[in-house]
Structure 1
């Protein structure tokens, strides 16, 4: 076959299910992807896609063509990755996403160190607390925390973190120290974006509904409120560990501390992992420490 023009674009649309996701994945415009697919259909003399205003589906011919061409593209991509692996200095753009607070505090500094080591690599990171669709957004990987949803994505565990319930020494002197979960009903609680806290009850992690005067969708804001004596809060260690060590906050209910949550690097399963991506994931795994 002399002309491969449009095949990559068609397979991307077929894999993602829409032109926008394919464009993001290929780092090009929707118009360019549409134009390439239309040219391919004209060259083949068949309609490969049913297009509506909301979605895209494969025609019978499109399904057959995708089944034949997608494996071939994977073979070509593997060949390219094998050659790229021979480079002593990896090159290219890595696009990823990470949670805002954790990403800013821990991922960004590591990305900066990574870039200092590998001058041929560039980074584009979207810090967001939304669970972005990494395939549709054209991202190479995502950093996620906690239990993962069932999906076709591949995940690698990088480290672990733990949740702490804590309050200021002054608050606890004025309101007593809780010794059971039932005692929380007598306290002012500083609640995050989720209306529940996680505890280890009878060796099983369970959620307990919570409410209070203060509700922030920011861990830093909750920590500041707790330090100011407004109540108790439950936050990951990377927010409060230093404040606990410095005496600004005091941990309570340690016997109910939940099991450690995993920090993950997540990849699209239908994409071969380039050496530069593996390099970054290994770097993060080596430099992220547990109990964040």
Structure 2
């Protein structure tokens, strides 16, 4: 433990540029903080701080040491918080958002089981295909599908999904089965929010802009149109798995499938993530990992 002596005190002084403020944060005396930091400098045989009567600032070595130690101190705080929260019964309101269909089929049933296990937790589940701002809407956990755009959020991968191009047997019988991407322009393509489909050809990602009689922002509506023989649709596997198994749809262009995409639980980078939110993310992760 000798190597840890003084590190917490040094990080507090570096962040607050004050021994007095650091002592207040840590609940100790200025003399104690100063003694610990001085002992750390002696042990490392390097000057970490420039001290004057007016301010405290980092030396070059101090900045380098702080950049590394900050992560260690935060990691220790997170570990202590996690252990402490394990001993507490989670309670209070849990706010979650998820895409509509995926939320109805997968997230809501798991959330309801979670509430059965933790009776002191209440749930506000907002199912929407809009990407809501977590901070602005006070959301604890958001379920996101596919590629993430907001890199400021922490994301935990729960599972993945596969996009598939499908059509009804009746449609393929009448219009033929496409065997190349170029042939899609000769077919009716049922389009969602985006006017292009994604593929992978010889290991390279490729996006194709397509035209069709139907544009709709509902995956279920596109699935229904596809089963009715109105055209081809590119949909995630959780929409089409049952229809494929029952022979209502057939998958085409399988050799051009794009890479599998992530299903994510995302939350803000808050070290004090509530016990209920942390437990819920872990609960989802375990559920999606099960066969």
**Larger deviation: 147-156 or 221-230?**
147-156
SS at match of 2:285: helix
Q: State the alpha-carbon separation in 1 of the partners of residues 276 and 221 from structure 2.
A: 36
Q: State the alpha-carbon separation in 2 of the partners of residues 125 and 150 from structure 1.
A: 21
In structure 2, the partner of 1:93 is 93
Q: What 5-or-longer segments of structure 2 have no aligned partner?
A: 1-73
Q: State the alpha-carbon separation in 2 of the partners of residues 180 and 151 from structure 1.
A: 35
Q: State the alpha-carbon separation in 1 of the partners of residues 290 and 248 from structure 2.
A: 22
Any idea what the Cα deviations from partners look like across 1:220-249, whole Å, max 9, x if unmatched? 000100110101000000101110010000
CA RMSD of aligned residues (A): 2.1
CA contact (8 A) 2:81 2:272 kept: no
The structure-2 alpha-carbon separation of the partners of 1:114 and 1:290, relative to structure 1 and needing over 3 Å to count, comes to: closer
In structure 1, the partner of 2:278 is 278
In structure 1, the partner of 2:24 is none
The structure-2 alpha-carbon separation of the partners of 1:124 and 1:268, relative to structure 1 and needing over 3 Å to count, comes to: same
* Displacement after TM superposition at 1:82 (Å): 6.0
Alignment partner of 1:252 is 2:257: no
Q: State the alpha-carbon separation in 2 of the partners of residues 258 and 231 from structure 1.
A: 20
Q: State the alpha-carbon separation in 1 of the partners of residues 81 and 212 from structure 2.
A: 56
Any idea what the Cα deviations from partners look like across 1:190-213, whole Å, max 9, x if unmatched? 111110111012212221111101
* Displacement after TM superposition at 1:118 (Å): 1.2
CA contact (8 A) 2:161 2:237 kept: yes
Q: State the alpha-carbon separation in 2 of the partners of residues 204 and 120 from structure 1.
A: 49
In structure 2, the partner of 1:235 is 235
Q: State the alpha-carbon separation in 1 of the partners of residues 87 and 259 from structure 2.
A: 42
The number of equivalent residue pairs is 215
The structure-2 alpha-carbon separation of the partners of 1:174 and 1:213, relative to structure 1 and needing over 3 Å to count, comes to: same
In structure 1, the partner of 2:111 is 111
SS at match of 1:234: strand
* Displacement after TM superposition at 1:141 (Å): 1.4
* Displacement after TM superposition at 1:281 (Å): 0.7
SS at match of 2:157: strand
In structure 2, the partner of 1:204 is 204
Q: What 5-or-longer segments of structure 1 have no aligned partner?
A: 1-73
Q: State the alpha-carbon separation in 1 of the partners of residues 289 and 168 from structure 2.
A: 26
SS at match of 1:197: strand
The structure-2 alpha-carbon separation of the partners of 1:113 and 1:138, relative to structure 1 and needing over 3 Å to count, comes to: same
- When Rg is computed on C-alpha atoms for both structures, the one with the higher figure is 2
Any idea what the Cα deviations from partners look like across 1:82-114, whole Å, max 9, x if unmatched? 654322x32121111111111111100111111
In structure 1, the partner of 2:123 is 123
